[in-house]
Amino acid sequence: MITKMTKYSFILYHMEVQTFLERVQEIGMVDITRENKGVDEHSKEKFALLERYATAEKSIKALSETLSGKNISSAPDLNGYSPEELLVTTENSLEERIYLNSELKSMLRERDEAAQWGAFTKEDIDKISSLGYKMHCFVISESNYDSEWESKYIIHILSKKDGKCYFVILTQEDEELNFKYPESKFPTTSYHIIEKKIEEVKLNIETTEDRLASLLKMSDIMHSGAVSERASLDLHLAGVASVKEAEGTIAIMTGFAPADKREELHKFFENTGVYFIEDVAKEEDNPPIKLKNNYFTKLFEPIGELYMLPKYGELDLTPYFAPFYMLFFGLCLGDIGYGIVLLIAGTIGRFKLPKFKGYMMLIQFLGIGAMLMPMLNGVFFGAKIQDIIPMPDSIKELFFSDIKMFWFAIIFGLFQIVVARLVNAIDSMIRKGWQHGMHNLGWAILVIWLAIIYAGTMMPEMVIPAYVNYIGYAGLAFIILFSSVEGNIFKRIMKGAFSLYDITGIFGDMLSYIRLFGLGTAGGILGLVVNSVAMNMSGIPYVGWFFTGLMLLVGHTAVLLLNSLGAFVHPMRLTFVEFYKNAGFGGGGRAFRPLTKNEN
């Protein structure tokens, strides 16, 4: 459900705005209308600073594995540094690390190229020049080297490596050399000198990474600085977003807070001395949305928020789609064993990752759904329970065949469509009046009636009581008479008759639920393939058991991950398209974001 909001309008002297907002920020209960964009130079600078914080935190955390085990004691003492000083140090260290690593790669390449020519010094080259000789360097394949050249030229072989011959020919300064091969470039620096520089660069990299490791340990302080800057920015934006009246001397602001905090806030605002007007928030005020659900449905709020929040005054559909989503996930995953794995993983995660407790509990419930729904056809890690456990035929017949699972997916989908239409009907009757919900009630009746009629054609022994048809006719009448509640009776009947075309849309929605069967069956087949391949490996002498176990572990893990992705996405699609559409969901609400110092 959506938390009821109270609207507050504040009128105060413009010099008191900052002090007032700081006090509002301390209680953290009021969403002050503000613009999250750079409305002035100050806010633009704040946004740029926040972006720097985010980039630095992301970059240094990405290096956490590289920096683990570094010698922090050798790094400079950073205690007492402010968050912004830590930010600047982090940015400089990251840039220095990038530069040094780039320089190291360049030097390594230069060293490898120079190593082929052997060790030399600048004095050696200068000495040759002082004797009146000029060096000509060549690199050719060893097979092309002709030893007769040694009688024609002053030649010296420097090295032979990887089938190549590196040599130099000395000529007089004024002598022209005519040689059949092109000259190569002689390195400007010897490899042993480059080696020394490489060691220096490596030492500088170690020093820089030690400093980054120390900064990583203090990332919480830097993060607190980002939180503080974010709170300061929100405070500033709330102030500049206020409407200035009376030549800028009076500020008028609007805020929203949960209605159940009314008494507490009333006392607070009275103590501040600010003049305020409170009123019940209305839909036209576009209040922010704060969802309030029970222990179970609250876990599914992040899934609904992936699409959009409902508008104020609209029905929160989270409690209605949550159980369907859990069971749809189970149908798509299609394996009891995988459901057990998810349940265990979620249970372990609740204790090992307390920050993600909500998500871990969601995984637990999805695991329960994945244990319940595959019990219909008895798939356990790709195998059928009825095939691996001896049981009477009377019990085996209770398990669904593939064709029964196909029809179950469609019937389950129709059930969700009917629930969506009934939810829409009841909500419309409560908010707008009984006439506004009658056509959706009629659609719910019509869908059930047509499903029963179709079932009767498939099962001749099925006897449909006469009153069922009368109820179906009543549903049809509701659609025709109440699809439009405006205009005279003839216009309403015409619009209602045209609205019957929507039956094609419901038929299309029904076919969408076949994906529940398709994904579950595909997952079962993949699990069966893994089992078959693993069992074939058992015949390998001596080590067959090892490869069988390895294949089962790796194969089923891959199938679980692949199926979980589909089982997460496709029920979401059925929820946001089929269910939301039939439930009349509009959406477009904005999240409740109170002005607070603890905003993350």
Q: What percent of the chain has pLDDT over 70?
A: 96
Asked if the model's pLDDT at residue 319 lies above 90, the reply is: yes
pLDDT tens readout for residues 5-30: 989 888 777 777 888 888 888 888 88
Q: Contact, 278 vs 6, CB < 8 A?
A: yes
Flag the least confident range among 95-99, 114-118, 246-250, 422-426: 246-250
Which residues, listed in sequence order, are joined to residue 509 by a DSSP beta bridge? none
Asked if the model's pLDDT at residue 33 lies above 80, the reply is: no
Domain segments of the chain as ranges: 34-109+192-240, 118-186, 318-582
Mean pLDDT of 372-400: 87
Q: What mean pLDDT value characterizes the chain?
A: 86
Asked if the model's pLDDT at residue 233 lies above 80, the reply is: no
Question: 332: how many CB neighbours lie within 10 A of its CB?
Answer: 30
Flag the least confident range among 66-80, 183-197, 404-418: 66-80
Mean pLDDT of 92-116: 89
Asked if the model's pLDDT at residue 96 lies above 70, the reply is: yes
Asked if the model's pLDDT at residue 39 lies above 60, the reply is: no
User: Angle at Cα 549 formed by Cα 544 and Cα 554, nearest 5°?
Assistant: 125
pLDDT tens readout for residues 266-299: 888 877 777 788 888 888 888 889 998 888 999 9
Q: Give the containing element (helix H, strand E) for 233.
A: helix 219-240
Map residue 343 onto helix, strand or coil: helix
pLDDT confidence of residue 482: 85
Check residue 431 and report its DSSP letter.
Answer: H
Flag the least confident range among 8-22, 85-99, 358-372: 8-22
Kindly calculate the radius of gyration of the chain based on its CA atoms and give it in whole angstroms. Answer: 38
Residue 346, both tokens: 């979620």
248 class by beta-carbon count within 10 Å (0-12 exposed, 13-18 middle, 19+ buried) = exposed
Q: How far apart are CA 440 and CA 463, in angstroms?
A: 27
Which residues, listed in sequence order, are joined to residue 278 by a DSSP beta bridge? 8
Q: Which residue do the tokens 């039956």 mark?
A: 503
Asked if the model's pLDDT at residue 37 lies above 60, the reply is: no
Q: Hey, CA dihedral for 394, 398, 401, 407, is it positive or negative?
A: positive
Flag the least confident range among 39-53, 95-109, 218-232, 542-556: 39-53
Cα→Cα distances 17→237, 241, 248, Å: 11, 11, 12
Q: Contact, 362 vs 564, CB < 8 A?
A: no
Strand 31-32 with 133-141, pairing: unpaired
Phi, psi of 379 (to 5 degrees): -90, 130
pLDDT confidence of residue 600: 45
pLDDT band at 326 (very low <50, low <70, confident <90, very high): very high
The size of the chain, in residues, is: 600
pLDDT confidence of residue 329: 94
